[in-house]
Amino acid sequence: MEILILAASLLALLATAVLIGTMGRPWRLFTAFGESVRGIWANRWPLGWITASVLLVLGLLYFYYLPPGTRIGPEQPIAFSHRLHAGDKAIDCRFCHPYVERSNHPGLPAVEKCLYCHNYIIANHPEILKEHEYYDTDTPTPWVKVFIMPEHVLFNHQRHLLSGIDCAACHGEVRQMDRLQERRLKMGFCIECHREKKATLDCWLSCHN
C-alpha cells in the first residue's frame, strides 16, 4: 500500500516538475528535442528547468530521508505502539519479548501480558476491549509479522545478544516507531555485519539448515 502512495506521489511530483519546466506547456518537452540549443536558451527555458530540478531533487530527498516514525508498517489487529510503550513509557523489550534470548522462535507477547497492565490502565479504551475479545475467545492475537526471513535460514538471537549487539542494530529504532515497518531480510543483511564484525561467513554450514 505504502509503495503505491509513494509511486503516485513521485509521479505527481514529476508531472509538476515537467509542467513548471515547460512553463505550463508539457508538449514542449517533445518538440524541444527538434529545436536548436540556441532556441531553448532564447526561450527563458532554463529558469523553469532550474526551478523544476531543484523541486524534484528536494522531493526525492524528502522521500529518501523521511524520518523513521513516518514510514509506517502494516496495520496491526490492535493499534499497538512501540513508541508509546518502549519509548515514552520505557517498558523493557524483554518484559514483552522474554524468550528472545532462549528460543529460535521467540514469538510475540500473549494478550495476558497486555492485560496485566490494561486491566487497570485505560481499561475501557476500544483497542483494549479488542484485547478482551481475543482473551475471552482464546484466540491468539493475529499480529502481522514484519521481520521476514526466508524459510530455510535458521536464526538464533542468543549468540548475537551475548556478544553485546543491541536490538536496534538489527531492528532499527523501534522505540521511535508507532507501527513497525515491514522488512524482508536478505542474506546481505547477515553477511554485511558478519564481515564487519569478523564473525563466521561460513553460512552454508551454520545458517542454512
Quick one: which segment of 6-14, 17-25, 59-67, 122-130 binds ligand HEC (CB under 6 A)? 122-130
Q: How far is CA 44 from CA 11, 18, 27, 39, in A?
A: 25, 15, 16, 9
Quick one: which segment of 44-52, 55-63, 132-140, 198-206 binds ligand HEC (CB under 6 A)? 198-206
Q: Is 134 in the site for ligand HEC (CB under 6 A)?
A: no
| 8 A C-beta contact, residue 68 and residue 176 | yes
At residue 65, φ and ψ (nearest 5 deg) are: -105, 20
| 8 A C-beta contact, residue 134 and residue 118 | no
Interface residue with ligand HEC among 89, 184, 186, 195 (CB under 6 A) is 89
Locus of grid cell 512501540: 82
Torsion of Cα atoms, 81 then 83 then 87 then 91, to 10°: 10
CB of 165 to ligand HEC, least distance (A): 4
CB of 12 to ligand HEC, least distance (A): 30
| 8 A C-beta contact, residue 19 and residue 28 | no
Three cell numbers written together for 136 = 475471552
Three cell numbers written together for 115 = 492485560
Give the Cα separation of 88 and 134 in Å (integer): 26
Interface residue with ligand HEC among 169, 184, 195, 201 (CB under 6 A) is 169
Give the Cα separation of 75 and 59 in Å (integer): 26
Residues 175-194 that bind ligand HEC (CB under 6 A): 175, 180, 185, 189-190, 193-194
In the complex with ligand HEC, the residue whose CB is nearer, 132 or 175, is 175
Three cell numbers written together for 158 = 542468543
Three cell numbers written together for 122 = 485505560
Q: Is 153 in the site for ligand HEC (CB under 6 A)?
A: yes
Q: Is 112 in the site for ligand HEC (CB under 6 A)?
A: no
Give the Cα separation of 112 and 97 in Å (integer): 13
x-marked contacts with ligand HEC along 6-45 as a string, rule CB under 6 A: ----------------------------------------
Binding residues (CB under 6 A) for ligand HEC: these are: 76, 78-80, 82, 84-86, 89, 91, 93, 95-97, 100, 105-109, 113-114, 116-118, 121-122, 125, 127, 131, 143, 145-147, 149, 153, 155, 157, 159-163, 165, 167, 169-171, 174-175, 180, 185, 189-190, 193-194, 197, 199-200, 206-207
